Structure 1
């Protein structure tokens, strides 16, 4: 079991999120390298999400909501809404910028923000944006929405650069479901609500359970008298070392230095986000040390 830690997100108008990846005990699950879980937040009290334009390199962002609505703008010219049960996936290989703002009609904001590391041969790929609305799959007291990869007979059409699985699973009270999975994958289950037992390990909300490769079936048990919900992540082990700092993923310290300098210089590498009513986020200062690669654990 991997616990979460509270992290402020988004500069001066920061909202607090619960981060389970990366952490000291585990940096990656497949190519999943970052997992933030937030809400349910009463927007009237917290102010909601307001993340000014900021850059990304070497990764894909995966946005998934349980409630609320977020306005997405990026330097491709995309202007889209993130809604519950709908996947927005943005690819920022060589460089992209975007902003994320909860809409005025949002009352409760609740969801996850996930990142996927791009493999070396694709880490400079062009900017891209994909949207997908997975249909519900019902099996053994569970409702499953597969937004990436394949599970329970459903397959997402969304392109990824390594084998991945991403799915929302809602369990009825006291339900047990056993799901066939790829034995080459490692898996993580991030619990949103309820008490869920995964492969014999009890998990509480905001905790992440881990199952190594070699398992062909995962059994999830809702141990409570109310519905439970979780996000299942999986993928083949990502064997490349990555350097991850702020919103950048590279392979060396110099990759990060170059990306930061390009962002601060307003380089065309990241383009411009149109329509955001404010300034973009400045990059933080670099550490006074060489940024070391994150090794698999």
Structure 2
């Protein structure tokens, strides 16, 4: 009877060929490492070198471990006189067996990235950078991916920065027949720039928090993204403003979708109140992480001083 496997496990199994070159075996006693399959000679899998003829020609079973290939303190093919190319290849690949014979430690599997020395630790970032070309670092990443962010807000903000949302101007460019007018204000065509920077409805929400800090953001959306990274010299206020701005973008997009698909609407004041409740709870969590700071400089005190009105 065939045992069903989860989708995750099946997906991982499909990555075996991709991961195999990274796995090397630091041979010890040879009782664990597969002779034919593991990369224990630094030349890769011996089965890939010799093909299926390797086990057949040499007489060593395909499931044999390295220890089983040693007979009388030497490789089992040591005395072979055959000129078969597979036998010759194996003799040239195999190291001195004496270190394996005398070893009392088990084989150890390591992770090697490129030409770097093998290591017992695994780094997903180093592995990713080795597999894929690293794109140039963007100048706005710290405005989106910062410590303390709310993940769903940061993710949507990232999509907005990349201009990947299905705003009406993009939908029309795809050939979809929709009215171009902004559903929030009804005064201009819906674009990223209009929806998140120029729309009167959206500006009322964002400006509530900026005006509370006595600040005025740039009029262009991408300029605001760069500016929001550090609009003041107060690190607490900077984080609060980034959280408030991302939360504003999130509720604006949610309200836009609600009006477009369910024809229900809320006033801007209702969205501001929703953001206030959300961020007030977030400030409480962040303040608990500031146990060693005076109560007058915590996130919660900064929030109450400027934004909780």
Higher strand proportion: 1
Higher helix proportion: 2
Is this a same-fold pair by TM over 0.5?
Answer: no
TM-score of the superposition, structure 2-length normalised?
A: 0.21
TM-score of the superposition, structure 1-length normalised?
A: 0.21
